[in-house]
């Protein structure tokens, strides 16, 4: 029988009641499972910030470890009733925290944070989740075992912070290691390089871990539990009458993630496309009810309606490089992009004209990108202008490119509200069209686009 891979994220590991909901859900499946977990809510950020402080101040090591210890103790106290079992669990958590403490001490003594140590330290958020969950499940009579990426052979391409899984190397060992009829609990967010070093899979990457594992074992489905009602035609906080999307395609899910929908990491569908394994989205507030709210699958299974959703992201920024004739001079873009690449700045898109090149970046990278360019400006560029405070709003749906009059309607609807459009793009992929507006106009623009395309017949 094929296995189901279940992913519980940080949003499922936030409140006191969350663990009880997870237990109820696992019991609801009533079958062997492979479970992938994220760090508890906020813990990856806590570790990231801690790293820098620890380098300078060794007292911070104790305060970090004490904080994690008391947090974990509280979770164990709330969820394990038998005192002896609880005592054993405290000791195991204590041991894992001692490992973490050693790496933090190492950072302090060498005064640097080498890549391999950073990735190792950040993996402890997930490693604490998998340990604590397996201990709690066992105390509730569930046959749960922790399975670590380093032990099951989840091998990466060796890149730190943002690695990819090497499927050729991982498939066989992972499949073999997870073959028994048990409940396996795997920490997400990392794999290991050929030489055994921990490599993170990028922020939010435990969705990608779960998808990679599902692909390796040729799972029946990847079930992702969230705290929202699946995919919607718009963010229900902005558009309260948004409707749910029951079925969508892999491309649509990938584009929605890219343009800001927070449901899945953009890389989640990548490993599942080829073997057409579905991703099913559930809400943990319906704990124990195994009925998906949205299902991502191949195009044939997707709902027939062309347009699925309007989404937005506030974390885009634009760097505009101006200069007479930049559009026809060769080599400028190559110079700029390789400089960004060397400094690990991801470029989200590029739009050029004769006198300007617009580079879309993730907002947190804007300051660094600007500094790099100012210190090393290609001579044809006369000014570099950063634009933050923008939002990108995207319409997503397979084959939308062939939807007659779409651009006209989108632009018209926004313009009618008196909102200026900064940039419009249609055709970069068959599944997404977007416009960029000032952030203070975002909400209104999302509402009017939703109204135009989803609330009345056109």
Residue 39 engages ligand ASP in binding (rule: CB under 6 A): yes
When CB distances are held under 5 to 8 angstroms depending on the partner's kind, the choice from Mg ion, ligand ASP, none that residue 189 binds is: ligand ASP
* Range 162-201, binding ligand ASP (CB under 6 A): 188-189
Residue 125 engages Mg ion in binding (rule: CB under 5 A): no
When CB distances are held under 5 to 8 angstroms depending on the partner's kind, the choice from Mg ion, ligand ASP, none that residue 18 binds is: none
Binder among 3, 9, 250, 296 for Mg ion (CB under 5 A) = 9
Size of site (CB under 6 A) for ligand ASP: 13
* Contact criterion met (CB below 8 Å) for 267 and 256: no
Kindly state the smallest distance separating residue 398's Cβ from ligand ASP, in Å: 27
Q: Is 54 helix (H, G, I), strand (E, B) or coil?
A: helix
Size of site (CB under 5 A) for Mg ion: 4
Residue 266 engages Mg ion in binding (rule: CB under 5 A): no
* Range 33-52, binding Mg ion (CB under 5 A): 38
Residue 204 engages Mg ion in binding (rule: CB under 5 A): yes
Across the beta sheet with 356-362, the strand order is 347-352, 356-362, 316-322, 383-387
Task: Using the rule CB under 5 A, give the single segment among 26-34, 112-120, 198-206, 370-378 that binds Mg ion.
Answer: 198-206
Binder among 4, 6, 8, 10 for ligand ASP (CB under 6 A) = 10
363: CB partners within 8 A, 6+ apart: 314, 315, 316, 317, 388
* Range 196-225, binding ligand ASP (CB under 6 A): 203-207
Residue 119 or 398: the one with the smaller Cβ distance to ligand ASP is 119
What angle separates helix 59-79 from helix 43-56, to the nearest 10 degrees?
Answer: 150
Binder among 12, 25, 38, 452 for ligand ASP (CB under 6 A) = 38
Residue 14 or 447: the one with the smaller Cβ distance to ligand ASP is 14
CA distance 452 to 458: 8
* Contact criterion met (CB below 8 Å) for 241 and 446: no
Residue 187 or 230: the one with the smaller Cβ distance to ligand ASP is 187
When CB distances are held under 5 to 8 angstroms depending on the partner's kind, the choice from ligand ASP, Mg ion, none that residue 125 binds is: ligand ASP
When CB distances are held under 5 to 8 angstroms depending on the partner's kind, the choice from Mg ion, ligand ASP, none that residue 44 binds is: ligand ASP
- Burial of residue 393 (CB within 10 Å: 0-12, 13-18, 19+) is buried
Kindly state the smallest distance separating residue 190's Cβ from ligand ASP, in Å: 9
Kindly state the smallest distance separating residue 305's Cβ from ligand ASP, in Å: 30
Kindly state the smallest distance separating residue 9's Cβ from ligand ASP, in Å: 6
Shortest-Cβ-distance residue relative to Mg ion: 9
CA distances from 45 to 41, 51, 129, 138, 326 (A): 9, 10, 15, 29, 40
Residue 391 engages ligand ASP in binding (rule: CB under 6 A): no
* Contact criterion met (CB below 8 Å) for 205 and 123: no
Kindly state the smallest distance separating residue 124's Cβ from ligand ASP, in Å: 10
* Contact criterion met (CB below 8 Å) for 449 and 395: yes
Would you say the C-alpha torsion 195, 200, 205, 210 has a positive or negative sign? positive
Paired residues of 424 in beta bridges: 435
Closest Cα partner for 225 from 278, 279, 148, 172? Answer: 279
Kindly state the smallest distance separating residue 7's Cβ from Mg ion, in Å: 9
Closest Cα partner for 135 from 180, 182, 87? Answer: 87
Across the beta sheet with 279-283, the strand order is 144-146, 183-187, 33-37, 4-8, 221-226, 279-283, 294-297, 247-249
List of residues contacting ligand ASP (CB under 6 A)? 9-10, 38-39, 44, 125, 188-189, 203-207
List of residues contacting Mg ion (CB under 5 A)? 9-10, 38, 204
């Amino acid at each position: 029988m094929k296995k189901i891979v279940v992913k519980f994220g940080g949003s499922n590991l936030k409140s006191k009641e969350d663990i009880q909901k997870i237990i109820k859900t696992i019991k609801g499946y009533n079958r062997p499972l492979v479970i992938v977990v994220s760090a508890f809510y906020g813990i990856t950020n806590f570790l990231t910030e801690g790293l820098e402080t620890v380098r300078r101040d060794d007292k911070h090591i104790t305060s970090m470890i004490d904080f994690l210890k008391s947090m974990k103790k509280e979770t164990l106290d709330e969820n394990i009733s038998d005192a002896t079992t609880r005592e054993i669990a405290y000791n195991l958590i204590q041991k894992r925290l001692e490992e973490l403490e050693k790496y933090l001490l190492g950072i302090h003594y060498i005064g640097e944070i080498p890549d391999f140590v950073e990735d190792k330290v950040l993996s402890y958020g997930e490693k604490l989740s998998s340990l604590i969950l397996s201990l709690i499940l066992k105390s509730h009579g569930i046959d749960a075992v922790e399975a670590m990426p380093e032990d099951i052979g989840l091998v990466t391409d060796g890149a730190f912070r943002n690695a990819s899984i090497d499927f050729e190397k991982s498939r066989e060992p992972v499949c073999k290691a997870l073959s028994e009829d048990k409940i396996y609990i795997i920490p997400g967010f990392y794999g290991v390089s050929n030489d055994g070093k921990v490599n993170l899979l990028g922020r939010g990457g435990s969705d990608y871990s779960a998808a990679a594992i599902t692909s390796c074992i040729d799972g029946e489905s990847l079930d992702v539990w969230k705290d929202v009602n699946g995919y919607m035609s718009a963010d229900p906080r902005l558009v309260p009458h948004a409707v749910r999307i029951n079925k969508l395609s892999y491309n649509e899910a990938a584009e929605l993630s890219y343009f800001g929908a927070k449901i899945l990491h953009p890389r989640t569908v990548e490993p599942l496309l080829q073997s057409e394994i579905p991703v099913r989205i559930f809400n943990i507030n319906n704990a124990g009810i195994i009925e998906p709210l949205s299902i991502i699958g191949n195009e044939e299974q997707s709902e027939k309606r062309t347009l699925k959703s309007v989404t937005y992201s506030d974390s885009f920024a634009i760097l505009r490089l101006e200069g007479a004739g930049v559009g026809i001079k060769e080599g400028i873009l190559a110079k700029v992009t390789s400089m960004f690449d060397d400094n690990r700045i991801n470029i989200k898109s590029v739009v050029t004209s004769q006198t300007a090149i617009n580079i879309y970046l993730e907002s947190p990278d804007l300051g660094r990108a600007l500094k790099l360019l100012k210190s090393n400006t290609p001579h044809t560029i006369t000014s570099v202008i950063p634009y933050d405070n923008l939002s990108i709003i995207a319409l997503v749906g397979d084959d939308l490119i062939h939807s007659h009059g779409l651009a006209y309607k989108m632009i018209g609807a926004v313009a009618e509200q008196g909102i200026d459009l900064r940039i419009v793009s249609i055709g970069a992929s068959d599944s997404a069209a977007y416009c960029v507006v000032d952030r203070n106009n975002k909400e209104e623009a999302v509402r009017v686009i939703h109204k135009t395309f989803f609330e009345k017949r056109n």
